[in-house]
């Protein structure tokens, strides 16, 4: 079709004046440009990232939800459109529910009814800036089950409208795919809290506030080391492994007691496709597999660490192995990567 058009225009072109020729060429260039852009757009089938938006006050609200309940909340947030002026009832297929929270089919209705009941009963507290007003509200206003049709209709409580709909400022965007990968309720909450400060790159959170944000009861993890292991460290590891961000933390002490955590957060550099690694990075992957790492794990290490860090770690462990000082070379290399050892 394009060749035929060119032949026709070429034939006409030589029979017209120079001015007419210039005009035709201009039109031809414009049409070709539009054709290229249009077809390039068709070839790009990469799905766009889907984001949810939450008011910062909602992120800092105090509530206690389980993992399944948080996943349903995120699913429902994902149904909201930017121009919605009111909450609508959204249809959650029971089959879809089973897939994204991994429930056995025979327990699907029992589990989902338990989840929606909790979302209608568990109250969160949203504190306004001046601290003079605290709003107590549940997540859902209704959950209507259509068992024969295999779905449930869910609707947010109308009191949440100022914190979800038509937000112009003081909100945080969350990549829904990132959030859905996290399987720890604490990691989800920490991830949200840190994304608020992504532009700054760091955030100090008092231990008492972090416990409240995560909905941890007074009698849970009373020992700080348990709290650090189950909440802080586990959240860090999961966020680093499963999202497009790298987070770390530093403990802040007062009279030898840890009173706060200073978190850092930054977006990872462009993800590396293991199938398209440059020769040096492919070599690093091969070296990692020599130390007992699986290929998928080696690819993840290359993706999540700077090249210099990996090379330094490998060189350091190589030296220790040659001296006979490495009883468990793989474990030593894991530590070297984690702590960024240098030879």
Per-residue pLDDT of 195-233, as tens digits, reads 999 989 999 999 999 999 999 998 999 999 999 999 999
Q: Where are the beta strands (DSSP E) in the chain?
A: 51-55, 90-93, 124-127, 134-137, 140-146, 151-156, 171-175, 202-206, 245-254, 257-267
User: In angstroms, what is the C-alpha Rg of the chain?
Assistant: 27
**What tokens appear for 46 in the block?**
């990469």
Higher-confidence residue of 39 and 106: namely 106
Q: Residues 14-35: what's their mean pLDDT?
A: 46
Exposure class string for 175-202: b at 16+ Cβ within 10 A, else e: bbebbbbbebbbbbbbbbbbbbbeeeeb
β-strand partners of 231 = none
Closest alpha carbon to 315 in 297, 291, 298: 291
3-state secondary structure of 241: helix
- Residue 80's pLDDT is what? 92
Predicted TM-score (pTM) of the model is 0.65
Per-residue pLDDT of 289-300, as tens digits, reads 888 888 888 888
Residues recorded for the chain:
343
Residues 221, 233: Cα–Cα separation, whole Å: 13
- Residue 264's pLDDT is what? 95
> Is it the case that residue 152 has pLDDT exceeding 90?
yes
Closest alpha carbon to 159 in 193, 194, 132, 133: 133
Residue showing tokens 């030593």: 332
Q: Among 153-167, 252-266, 287-301, whose mean pLDDT is lowest?
A: 287-301
**What tokens appear for 62 in the block?**
């105090």
Per-residue pLDDT of 133-149, as tens digits, reads 899 999 999 999 998 89
User: CB-based burial of residue 78 (10 Å sphere; 0-12 exposed, 13-18 middle, 19+ buried)?
Assistant: middle
Give the count of beta carbons closer than 10 Å to the beta carbon of residue 144: 12
> Is it the case that residue 24 has pLDDT exceeding 50?
no
Q: pLDDT band at 257, cuts 50/70/90?
A: very high
**What value, to the nearest 5°, has the Cα angle with vertex 212 and ends 209 and 214?**
110
**What mean pLDDT value characterizes the chain?**
82
**What tokens appear for 120 in the block?**
């209608």
- Residue 276's pLDDT is what? 47
- Residue 48's pLDDT is what? 57
Considering the chain, what percentage of its residues have pLDDT values greater than 90?
47
Phi and psi at 108, nearest 5°, equal: -60, -50
3-state secondary structure of 162: helix
- Residue 316's pLDDT is what? 84
Closest alpha carbon to 65 in 81, 76, 79, 50: 76
Q: Among 43-52, 265-274, 292-301, whose mean pLDDT is lowest?
A: 43-52
Cα–Cα distances in Å, from 298 out to 5, 62, 234, 326, 339?
A: 52, 39, 21, 20, 17
Per-residue pLDDT of 110-121, as tens digits, reads 888 899 999 999
> Is it the case that residue 47 has pLDDT exceeding 70?
no
């Amino acid at each position: 079709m394009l060749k035929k058009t060119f032949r026709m225009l070429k034939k006409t072109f030589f029979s017209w004046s120079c001015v007419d020729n210039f005009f035709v060429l201009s039109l031809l260039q414009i049409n070709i440009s539009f054709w290229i852009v249009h077809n390039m757009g068709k070839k790009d089938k990469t799905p766009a990232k889907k984001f949810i938006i939450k008011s910062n006050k909602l992120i800092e609200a105090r509530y206690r939800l389980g993992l399944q309940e948080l996943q349903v909340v995120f699913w429902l947030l994902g149904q909201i459109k930017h121009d919605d002026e009111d909450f609508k009832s959204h249809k959650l297929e029971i089959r879809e529910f089973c897939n994204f929270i991994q429930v056995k089919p025979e327990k699907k209705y029992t589990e989902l009814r338990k989840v929606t009941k909790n979302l209608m009963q568990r109250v969160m507290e949203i504190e306004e800036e001046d601290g003079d007003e605290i709003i107590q509200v549940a997540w859902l206003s209704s959950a209507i089950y259509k068992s024969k049709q295999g779905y449930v209709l869910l609707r947010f409580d109308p009191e949440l409208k100022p914190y979800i709909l038509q937000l112009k400022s003081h909100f945080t965007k969350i990549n829904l795919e990132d959030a859905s990968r996290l399987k720890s309720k604490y990691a989800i909450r920490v991830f949200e809290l840190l994304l608020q400060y992504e532009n700054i790159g760091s955030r100090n959170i008092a231990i008492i506030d972090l416990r409240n944000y995560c909905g941890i009861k007074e009698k849970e993890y009373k020992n700080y080391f348990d709290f650090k292991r189950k909440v802080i460290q586990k959240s860090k590891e999961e966020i680093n492994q499963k999202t497009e961000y790298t987070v770390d933390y530093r403990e802040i002490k007062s009279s030898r007691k840890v009173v706060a955590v200073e978190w850092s957060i930054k977006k990872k550099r462009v993800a590396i496709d293991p199938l398209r690694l440059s020769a040096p990075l492919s070599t690093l992957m091969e070296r990692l597999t020599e130390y007992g790492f699986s290929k998928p794990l080696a690819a993840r290490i290359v993706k999540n660490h700077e090249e210099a860090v990996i090379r330094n770690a490998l060189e350091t462990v190589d030296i220790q192995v040659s001296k006979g000082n490495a009883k468990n070379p793989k474990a030593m290399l894991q530590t070297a990567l984690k702590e960024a050892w240098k030879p």
